[in-house]
Amino acid sequence: MKFGIVVNEGPYQHQASDSAYLFAKAAIAAGHEVWRVFFYHDGVNNASRLTAPPQDDRNVVNRWSKMADEHKVDLVVCVAAALRRGIQEENLAAGFRISGLGQLVEAGIQCDRLVTFGD
């Protein structure tokens, strides 16, 4: 099965990002494809390379970057939501790219399931 995932919440103020990551990880481990993860609303904060969590905390941004690299997951950040929150190309973490809502629509068309995490 081919999955698309939407993340609407930031990495440290809500469980949505952790849940989305763990869902994607489990789907890949079960032999499914995670075709695209679309970060929308406050979810765009998952793409900031400026986050610096303490050493004893999980690094949510790095987890997504590693998944993109190892499993060729397309990590797309909504351009309008990103610009509203100060996220631009120069402070984007590895593996993420900025694009428009058309990428979300395409994921809904191309994937067997589109799963949303967060409000």
Q: How far is CA 13 from CA 43, 60, 71, 101, in A?
A: 10, 12, 26, 24
Count of the separate structural domains present in the chain: 1
Contact partners, residue 84, CB within 8 Å, separation at least 6: none
Which phi and psi (to 5°) does residue 114 adopt? -120, 115
What pLDDT sits at residue 74? 98
pLDDT tens, 52-106? 889 888 999 999 999 999 999 999 999 999 999 999 999 999 999 999 999 999 9
Which one is catalytic: 27, 68, 75, 78?
Answer: 78
Residue 16's CATH number: 3.40.1260.10
Domain holding 30, by residue range, is 2-117
What pLDDT sits at residue 109? 98
Residue 111 annotated among the catalytic residues of the structure: no
pTM: 0.96
